A = this chain, B = another copy of it.
Amino acid sequence: MGFEGADPGTVRPGGRTARVRSAVLRAAGDALAEHGFAHLDLADIARRAEVGKTTVYRRWGTVTSLVADLLVDMAEQSLPRTETGSLLGDLKANARLVQRTLADPRQGALFKAVVAAATCDAKTAEALHSFYDIRVKEWAPCVQQAIERGEVPDGTDAHEVIRAVSAPLYYRLLTTGDRLDEAAADQAAEAAAAAARAGAYLRGERGLA
- Write the residues of chain A forming the contact surface with B, with a CB cutoff of 8 angstroms: 36-38, 88, 112-113, 115-116, 118-120, 125, 128-129, 132-133, 136, 160, 163-164, 166-168, 170-171, 174-178, 183, 186-187, 190-195, 197-201, 206-209
Can you tell how many copies of this chain the complex includes? 2
Q: Are A168 and B177 interface neighbours, CB within 8 A?
A: no
Q: Are A174 and B119 interface neighbours, CB within 8 A?
A: yes
Q: Are B190 and A191 interface neighbours, CB within 8 A?
A: no
Q: Of B37, B112, B160, B176, which one neighbours A187 at CB under 8 angstroms?
A: B160
> How far is B178's CA from A38's CA once the two chains are assembled, in angstroms?
25
CB distance from A105 to the nearest CB of B (A): 14
A187 / chain B contacts, CB cutoff of 8 Å? 160, 200-201, 206-207
Q: Of B125, B136, B192, B200, which one neighbours A190 at CB under 8 angstroms?
A: B200
> How far is B109's CA from A119's CA once the two chains are assembled, in angstroms?
8
A37 / chain B contacts, CB cutoff of 8 Å? 38, 120
Q: Are A176 and B191 interface neighbours, CB within 8 A?
A: no
A136 / chain B contacts, CB cutoff of 8 Å? 176
> How far is B168's CA from A170's CA once the two chains are assembled, in angstroms?
9
